[in-house]
Structure 1
Amino acid sequence: MGIKDMIEDKRAWRAHTARVKDLPKDYQVVYKEIQKYLFKVGPVELTEGIELLSGIVDLFEEGAALGKGVLEVTGKDVAAFCDDLVKDSKTYEDVFQESVAKEVDKAMKKAMHKVKQRS
C-alpha cells in the first residue's frame, strides 16, 4: 500500500466517523458497540475496508430519518444482528478454530508416530 492509498483510506475513515457523529446518540452508542464486536469476532476482511461499517451507517441513517429507535432497526439482540451480518464471512473465530484443529491434528500424528516407534 502506497502513501497515497494510506492518505485516501484515512480520509475515507474520517468521513465515515463524521457520519457516525451525525447520528442520534442512541444510534452512536449501538454503532460503537457493533464496531467493537465486529473488530473482535467479525470478518477477517473487515480490516481491509469499511464497506460493512458504512452499510451499517447507511441503515442507521435511514432508520433515524424514519424516526425509528436504533433497536427497532437492529432488534434487541445486537450481537445476533452482527452475527447475521457476517454469517457468510470468514471470522476470527473460524481462523482460531482452524488453527486449533491443525495443532491437535499435528500433535495426534506426532503421538501416534511415537507409539509406532515403541512397538
Structure 2
Amino acid sequence: MSIRDIIDGKKQWRAHVARVKMLPPDYRIVYGEIQRYLFKVGSIDLLTGLLEFFEESAASGRGVLEVTGTDVAAFADDLIEGSPTYA
C-alpha cells in the first residue's frame, strides 16, 4: 500500500463521514450502532451500501425503525449474512 492509497482512503472515509452527518438524527444513531457492530465483525464493506439505503429511506420520509424494524441487531445480523466476517 502506497502513501497515495492511504491518502485516497482517508479522503473517501472523510467524504463518507460527511454523508453520515447529513442523515437525520435517528438515522445517524442507528447507523452508528450498526457501524460499531460491523467494525467488530469485519464487514465494513457493507457500510457504503447501508449509507445509500439510509439516505434513500430518509429522503422518502420513512422513519429509521420503519426501515430496520424494531430489532436493529437482527437487521444488522441479516445485513452481514453471507458476507465474510472476522467472527
TM-score of the superposed pair, with normalisation by structure 1: 0.69
- The 5 A counterparts of 1:1-119 are 1-43=1-43, 46=44, 51-93=45-87
TM-score of the superposed pair, with normalisation by structure 2: 0.92
Q: Deviations over 1:30-75 (max 9, x none)?
A: 00000011111243xx3xxxx4111111001111111111111111
Compare the two structures and name the one with the higher helix fraction.
1
* Distance of 1:74 and 1:42 partners within structure 2: 20
The two structures, once aligned, show a CA RMSD in angstroms of 1.1
Larger CA Rg, structure 1 vs 2? 1
Q: Runs of 5+ in structure 1 lacking a partner? A: 94-119
Amino acid at match of 2:11: R
Bigger relative CO (Cα 8 Å, ≥ 6 apart): 2
- The alignment of Structure 1 onto Structure 2 pairs a total of residues equal to 87
* Distance of 1:73 and 1:59 partners within structure 2: 9
**Shift >3 Å, 4+ stretches:** none
